[in-house]
Amino acid sequence: MIHCPFNFGAYLEDYKILLCHPKGELTTDRMSDIAVCRDCIQKAGLTQVNRFHNLTDIKAVNIGFDEVYKVCDVESKYRDPSKPINACYLVPNPLLFGTMRMYQTLIESCGVEVHVSYDINQLSSILGVKNSVLVSGQVA
């Protein structure tokens, strides 16, 4: 079982999916918390699980290429590239879309298959669950 210290995340054991719904500003620390989940999935030993991140409540982005690169470098040490996971990101605007696509480009060779979309239906299909699972399982 996971415990998200920020009350952003939950692990749906029945579906083997980590849900994360961060709020506020996307900074280097917040990006690291989202990608690496150092305080929840690492402590629970769940580093190889699929995940869904609802970024629709991120209101500002304060992270650049160098910081995203560093987050990817740290995350790559925790991933097994022979067992890729799906990491799905629901985004509300072009700035977050571009930021997450940058992350996608840098991390995919490390065992994370990143999917970025404005459409929850597309992401739920990738994860193999109904979108209602992603919506109802999210933390408030």
Question: Phi-psi category of 136—alpha, beta or left, where left has phi over 0 and alpha has psi -120 to 50?
Answer: alpha
| Fold that domain 9-136 belongs to in CATH | Transcription Regulator spoIIAA (3.30.750)
Across the chain, what does the average pLDDT equal? Answer: 81
Yes or no: say if 97 and 118 are a contact pair by the CB < 8 Å rule: yes
Burial of 81 (0-12, 13-18, 19+ CB in 10 A): exposed
The confidence band for 93, taking pLDDT boundaries of 50, 70 and 90, is: very high
Q: What is the pLDDT of residue 32?
A: 73
Task: Please state the rounded mean pLDDT for residues 120-138.
Answer: 85
Yes or no: say if 81 and 43 are a contact pair by the CB < 8 Å rule: no
Q: What is the pLDDT of residue 37?
A: 64
Q: What is the pLDDT of residue 50?
A: 87
Alpha-carbon distance of 118 to 129, in angstroms, equals: 17
